[in-house]
Amino acid sequence: MNFTDENTKKLLILAKLSANNQEVKALTSSCNEIFSYMEKLNELDVSSVKPMQHVHGSSNIYREDTPIKSMNTDLGLQNAPNKAGDYISVPLIIEE
């Protein structure tokens, strides 16, 4: 497929990244090269193959509904860039 700047820009928005024009072009260019290489996979007929979504066939891993002591609030939030009391503070979210 032909990967364009349009593709790159849409993905930047999805991934919450920003880039200037030069950076967009650089990204488009490397992505194009990489996706061209991936065309290789089209050589294979995988129509009857199951995707390997989980390794080693484990299943049914779960735990009992028993509470454990929570992490101390100060400890848990010690890396928060901005706090207000025990809340994490972010710029006001405006729901348009």
Interior/surface letters 1-18, b for 16+ CB within 10 angstroms, e for the rest: eebeeebbeeeeeeeeee
Cα 46 to its chain centre, rounded Å, is 26
Q: Is residue 2 near other proteins by the rule CB under 8 A? A: no
Cα–Cα distance, 19 to 15 (Å, whole number): 12
Binding mask 5-44 for other proteins (x = CB under 8 A): --xx-xxxxxxxxxx-------x--xx-xxx-xx-xx-xx
Backbone angles phi, psi at 15, to 5 degrees: -90, 5
Nearest to other proteins of 21, 70 (CB atom): 70
Q: Is residue 70 near other proteins by the rule CB under 8 A? A: yes
- Helix (H), strand (E) at residue 84: strand 83-84
Contact with other proteins (CB under 8 A) among 4, 5, 25, 90 = 90
**Smallest separation, CB 59 to other proteins (Å):** 5
Q: Which residues would be at the binding site for other proteins (CB under 8 A)?
A: 3, 7-8, 10-19, 27, 30-31, 33-35, 37-38, 40-41, 43-44, 46, 49-56, 58-68, 70-71, 73, 75-82, 84-96
